């Protein structure tokens, strides 16, 4: 993928945000989500085994499009790509991250929540951004407001999004996809109840398709 190849975002309207504590759960969880219709997976670098989990998914679940989240510096970006990440998600943005993504030719969703951050991202060549944390920064109302001065931007809002407000976010024209963790509840992961995760994924896909068809 080139830096500007974001076609993977059209594979599904929901991107599961995964915090993996046990690498043994990575592959079956990824398979369950892919089976449920959610192939684009963000594995956050919040746990010691995150990079190993990315490598396992990249190696053993070819239908998955696995990326790394909570990437905060160029070194983490490089390590994530080395372990098989196909895209990068950051909670914020910096010139160092912009430059590293361009150099590595890997798609980056830089985190933004203000107009100034959006302008900086655009100046660096990024027009598809992570709006984070979404609910804490005005949610749907803020995204609609930003569409006025920034009609060229598209967003993947993350943070506080769940099944109950999914429709509100996907109804916003500038939203290309949303990120969330509700499809992988901790109790289901701990119980290795992969069937439940597949069903939650399927329900989210069906709901999202209904919303987008009505828009």
Catalytic-role residue among 130, 135, 144, 187: 130
3-state secondary structure of 179: strand
What confidence score (pLDDT) does residue 2 get?
Answer: 42
Q: Which CATH class is domain 7-214?
A: alpha beta
| 42, 135, 144, 187: the active-site residue | 42
* Helix ranges restricted to H, the chain: 26-35, 50-60, 74-82, 95-104, 115-123, 139-147, 166-170, 186-190, 194-214
135 burial class (0-12, 13-18, 19+ CB within 10 angstroms)? middle
42 is catalytic: yes
**Quick one: pLDDT at residue 1?**
40
Query: CA–CA separation, 97 vs 61, rounded Å?
Result: 28
60 is catalytic: no
Spans of all domains in the chain: 7-214
pLDDT tens, N- to C-terminus, the chain (215 residues): 445 689 999 999 999 999 999 999 999 999 999 999 999 999 999 999 999 999 999 999 999 999 999 999 999 999 999 999 999 999 999 999 999 999 999 999 999 999 999 999 999 999 999 999 999 999 999 999 999 999 999 999 999 999 999 999 999 999 999 999 999 999 999 999 999 999 999 999 999 989 888 76
């Amino acid at each position: 993928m080139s830096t500007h190849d974001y076609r993977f975002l059209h594979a599904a309207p929901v991107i599961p945000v995964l915090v993996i504590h046990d690498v043994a759960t990575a592959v079956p969880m990824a398979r369950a989500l892919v089976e449920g219709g959610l192939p684009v997976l963000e594995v956050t670098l919040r746990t010691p085994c995150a990079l190993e989990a990315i490598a396992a998914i990249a190696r053993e679940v070819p239908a998955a499009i696995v990326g790394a989240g909570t990437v905060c510096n160029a070194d983490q970006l490089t390590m994530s790509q080395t372990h098989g990440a196909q895209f990068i998600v950051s909670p914020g943005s910096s010139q160092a991250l912009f430059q590293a993504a361009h150099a590595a030719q890997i798609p980056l969703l830089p985190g933004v929540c203000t107009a100034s951050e959006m302008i900086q991202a655009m100046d660096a060549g990024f027009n598809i951004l992570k709006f984070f944390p979404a609910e804490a920064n005005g949610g749907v109302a803020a995204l609609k407001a930003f569409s006025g001065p920034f009609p060229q931007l598209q967003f993947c809002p993350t943070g506080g999004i769940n099944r109950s407000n999914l429709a509100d976010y996907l109804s916003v024209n500038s939203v290309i996809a949303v990120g969330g963790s509700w499809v992988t509840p901790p109790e289901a992961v701990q119980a290795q109840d992969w069937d439940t995760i597949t069903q939650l994924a399927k329900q989210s896909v069906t709901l999202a398709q209904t919303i987008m068809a009505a828009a």
